[in-house]
Amino acid sequence: MVTSVEAEPDVRPARAWWRPPDDGTSGGLWFARTGLRLVELVVDVAFVAALLAVFGTVLANVITRTLLGFSLTWSSEISTLCLPIMAFGGGARAYGVGRMPAFTGLVDRLRPRAKAATGAAAHAWVLVVAVVVAVNDGVVIDQGAAQRSPILGITANWAALALQAAMALTALYAVRYLWRVGRRDMLWGLGIAVVIGVVVYAAYWGVGTNASAGLSSAVALGTFVVAYLLGVPIVFVLLTSALLYVQVSHVSALAVVPADMVSGVSGFIIVAVPFFVLAGTLLGEAGLMAPVSELISGLLAKVKGGLLHSTVVLMYLFSGVSGSKIADVAAVGTSMRKAVLAAGYSKEDLAATLAASAVMGEAVPPSTVMLVLGSITTVSIGGLFQAGLLPAALLGVLLMVMIWLRARRQPVTATVAVPHGKLLLRKAFESVPGVVVPLVILVCIYSGIATPTEASSIAVALGVVALLVTRTGRSKLSPGLLLPVETTAGFVLTVIGSATAFSFTLSVAGFPNLIGSLFHTLGGSRWSILLLSVILLPILGMVLEGLPAILILGPLMMPIAQSAGINSLQYGVLLVLAIGLGTFAPPLGVGMFSTCAVSGTSVSEVGRRFWPYGLAIFVGLVILAFVPAITTVVPGLLGSG
Amino acid sequence: RNTGSSGAAAAPSFTIIYAGQQAAPNPNAVAETDFAKAIESSSKGRIKVQVHTAGDLGGPAALLTAVKQGTIQMTITTPQSLASYYAPIGVLGLPFLFDSLPEAATALTSPAAGQLASGMESATGIKVLAWQQFGMVQLMGRDHAVTGLADLKKLRVRTIANKVATGTLSDVGAIPVPLDGSETYTALQQKTIDSNVDPISVLYSEKDWEISKYLTIVNVQDNIAPVVINAKFFDSLPKDLQQDVTAAAQQVAADEVKQIESLDQQDITAMQKSGVHVNTLSPDVVAQWRSATTKLGDTYDKSTVAGLTGGT
Ligand code: NA
Ligand code: NA
């Protein structure tokens, strides 16, 4: 339902931007708009400044340590201070441009009128949560004023200040959304939100103070489901449940939610998130992938399902570079689309292959989910990066077997010319940078030049170089590159923050013990834990969007697996892939929805084609569960070397 | 609810959320459970303790902030973390302040330590209930044993991001590399760093010994583990319960310190069995290292240092 009206070509004389236009727009509205744009400009500039500061110090630290023999001990402190600015500012901008992932599977099936009203209700919900978080963040700001960072002695509360500012901006955006849907839908939306609020409040009142953990969980869970189905962005669904649980159970104070959001994004390790997102964008714009895509497609042209095979191979190669699965899907999808469609496949075929390959890509290093898992558990990030290589390859092979089996039944004509002789050489030569860049990043990590976190800054440097030396790259160098980076990184980091608050309440509510005893009751042996994980984790990954699932289940499941004698790397990789399967599986997976949104397809059509691939991945997971060696052999070889 | 009911008033009950970073069988994690048992019994059920271990409620900084804000009640922390709120307590992180755990235990009962704690309490609202221990910090490296200060030159040593901790290394020509504990093993494996300084229990549980084969006993520093409580919450307890809480915490801490000492010895033996070479730095070299780092103490109150170290 697109209601926007195409603008008439603007033929009026240019006016100074600070003067209100005389086109009938009220002065108040004009000031609101201009004010909002100025605020956005400040947020964007702060994001860039923070990013540059962190980039500079992290890279300088690698250089001084390896070449000059001293380290910048304050470099991690700079990162810790700058991350919340990037996280919360970027998160608010993501909401403002409508890039905060939400479950829209139910809402999309409603009639236009009902859809508009539920949309308005979702935004009203965001408005309330943003205000509650901002207000309670005041306590965190007060308390943090007395705290100093250990080396530079900087006041520690500006992370909390950044959160408050971002929540205020989010509230403004919510008001703008409500304004834009028109008065009637706005009233409907507010009505729905008020009714839900009254029901929740009545439940709260009925439950009374100091409610039992069980009852409080029921209220929080019930609200979680309603908000999720209503299409409230996942970040605010998590925050709603956390706030409600704390309020109903009286186990803590509401300030714990903003405090945990801040501490969740203050770890040095997650600096890699914005860096890998930025590096992926820069390398994508530099056009390094196109020659690789042509080469592989050409080589596989004669194989049944050749172009779909190429898609899998490309996803394996490039899912390492970008920090965002959806960026991978978009980048590879765009480069393959023309050839795949020309060969007679549908865009739904391509989307299903992309979604399935994106699951595989979760285990290809450097992967954001592995980074996050490593940073919140005792599992080593470098170890996970090594461990993921073979399991991802196994899933890739299984996917290609499935593609081949299906292609035998539906013969498709190849239209891509198979390169020979000189042409093949030229293509291979042109592909070198595209293959070398991911390799350089891995070599930096495995040779000890840089930790995985630091390697992300090297990836950015490579991206900048690639962009400057390629002609296509230089022409694409523009401020327009910024917003996707800012919103993607901001969203991922904000999810980490809100999931930190959410898992605090889960822990306080005794959820870890519950899961622990469930796995214990159902047979605490290593095989039953592995098998149960392969079955249950995709379901949990589907309900909680991938990253929150990792954040919540990682610290919960890793100790259970370790105490059953399961190798941590094996379980870590299995966890990442199983949750990835859930994220990209129809009918609920957010990854599936994003893939369809990016490729302009419908979930039901793509979902139908996804199932055989989903089955192949599931088989792969079972193999990985029962053959630990596939995961542990590479770390074993590299570790001893 | 039921606030207006007639009849005998029910005994007021209090809930303490007690969260820490260590996982069992680390003595600091066991101590949390022991404290819970002790106080639930001595308070006859008027105090309930919800124990959280292994960082499941958040990292060290987050937990300390939560105690300060009163969103949780108790945690086990470090003087370095406390110093971000109250700089003077950072004195307890100075290198070579104590030579052994028993010496530290005695010093922490001194008036000087008491003044530090009460100064912090009035400035921050964070109250120290007892002093537990992570243990004496030692040096463990990959390529060679350290027998003299020359061996430390250009050695890339992982440490925490803290002026005193990095100064302790850079003052003798080593390169301090502040890294997250979870990155240490990989960094050693990939040769991003050469060594690590940590208490024995950490070196052992982190499996540094799989890669680092040279353990040097230096007693660089004592990693103290203050058990802290939100002062406002503590003051809200009836007097008898306040006494019960303090007594339980101190009894548990005394047991924990003994545990750490004997476990350190066990861990060293286990590491030796798996091929780790252990040497003790000679007193002369330790004295050189100590004198190279004396200026790190300049920012702290001289009389506090004297009070802690027996007035010398
Ligand atoms: Na990846
Ligand atoms: Na880790």
**Rounded to a whole number, what is the largest CA-CA distance in chain A?**
79
The encoded tokens of residue A118 equal 């539920």
Secondary structure (3-state) at B198 = strand
Q: What is the pLDDT of residues A400-444, one digit of tens each?
A: 999 989 887 765 555 566 677 788 888 888 888 888 877 887 788
Do strands B156-159 and B277-280 pair parallel, antiparallel, or not at all (unpaired)?
Answer: unpaired
What average pLDDT does the segment B87-111 reach? 95
Would you call B191 an interface residue with chain A, using a CB distance cutoff of 8 Å? Answer: yes
The verdict on a CB contact (< 8 Å) between B17 and A380 is: no
Q: Contacts of residue A255 in chain B, CB cutoff 8 Å? A: 69, 71
Instruction: Give A28 to chain B, closest Cα distance, Å.
Output: 41
Neighbours of ion ligand 2 (CB under 5 A): A 374; B 182
Q: With an 8 Å Cβ cutoff, are A508 and B58 in contact?
A: no
Q: What confidence score (pLDDT) does residue A307 get?
A: 84
In this structure, are strands B126-141 and B214-230 parallel, antiparallel, or unpaired?
antiparallel
| Residue in the block written with tokens 């409600």 | A244
Supply the pLDDT for residue B92: 97
Residue A42's pLDDT is: 96
Whether the predicted pLDDT of B223 surpasses 80: yes
Residue-level pLDDT at B131: 98
Residue A292: the pLDDT is: 83
Please tell me the pTM assigned to this model: 0.84
Instruction: Compute the distance from residue A256 Cα to the ligand 2 centre, in Å.
Output: 24
Please tell me the predicted confidence (pLDDT) of residue A412. Answer: 56
Whether residues A266 and B61 touch (CB distance < 8 A) is answered with yes
CA–chain centroid gap for A432, Å, is 29
The three-state secondary structure class of A296 is: helix
Ranges in chain A, pLDDT < 50: 1-14, 17, 640-641
The rounded distance, in Å, linking the Cα atoms of A438 and B230 is 49
d(CA A503, CA A516): 15
Q: Which residues have a Cβ under 8 Å from the Cβ of A19 and sit 6 or more positions away?
A: none
Residue B144 one-letter amino acid? H
Cα torsion through B267, B268, B274, B278, rounded to 10: 160
What's residue B58's pLDDT? Answer: 81
Instruction: Give the ipTM.
Output: 0.83
Cα of A633 from ligand 2 centre, angstroms:
20
What's the gap in Å between A361 CA and the centre of ligand 1? Answer: 4
Cβ contact (<8 Å) for A150 and B66? no
Q: Do A375 and B182 touch (CB under 8 A)?
A: yes
Whether the CB-CB separation of A35 and A70 falls below 8 Å is answered with: no
In three-state secondary structure terms, B18 is strand
Distance CA A571, CA A559 (A): 10
Beta carbons of A382 and B163 less than 8 Å apart: no
**Which pLDDT score, from 0 to 100, does residue A4 have?**
34
Most confident region among A151-160, A231-240, B178-187, B214-223 by mean pLDDT: B214-223
Helix H or strand E segment including B130: strand B126-141
- Which residue type does A282 have? L
Q: Is A525 helix (H, G, I), strand (E, B) or coil?
A: coil
Closest-CA residue in chain A for B167? Answer: A73
CA distance B235 to chain A (A): 17
From residue A251, alpha-carbon distances to A206, A212, A245, A638, B50 in Å are: 17, 10, 8, 47, 10
Smallest CA-to-CA distance from A103 within A281, A6, A236, A219 is with A236
Grouping H, G, I as helix, E, B as strand and the rest as coil, residue B15 is strand
Query: How many residue pairs bridge chain A and chain B with CB atoms within 8 Å of each other?
Result: 144
Instruction: Give me ligand 1 centre to Cα A323, in Å.
Output: 7
pLDDT digits (tens, 9 = 90+) for A271-319: 877 887 888 788 778 877 778 888 888 887 777 788 889 889 988 887 7
Q: Are A361 and A392 in contact (CB under 8 A)?
A: yes
Is B51 within 8 Å of chain A by CB?
Answer: no
The answer to whether A374 and A344 have CB atoms below 8 angstroms apart is no
Given an 8 Å threshold on Cβ–Cβ distance, is A504 in contact with B58?
Answer: yes
Nearest-Cα distance to chain A for B197, in Å, is 15
Residue A470: per-residue pLDDT: 78
Q: Where are the alpha helices (DSSP H) in chain B?
A: 27-42, 60-69, 79-83, 101-107, 111-124, 163-170, 181-189, 200-205, 231-236, 239-273, 283-292, 302-308
Distance from CA of B217 to the nearest CA of A (A): 25
Cα separation, A357 vs B195, whole angstroms: 40
Interatomic CA distance for residues A83 and A478, integer angstroms:
23
B262 touches chain A (CB under 8 A): no
pLDDT at A587: 75
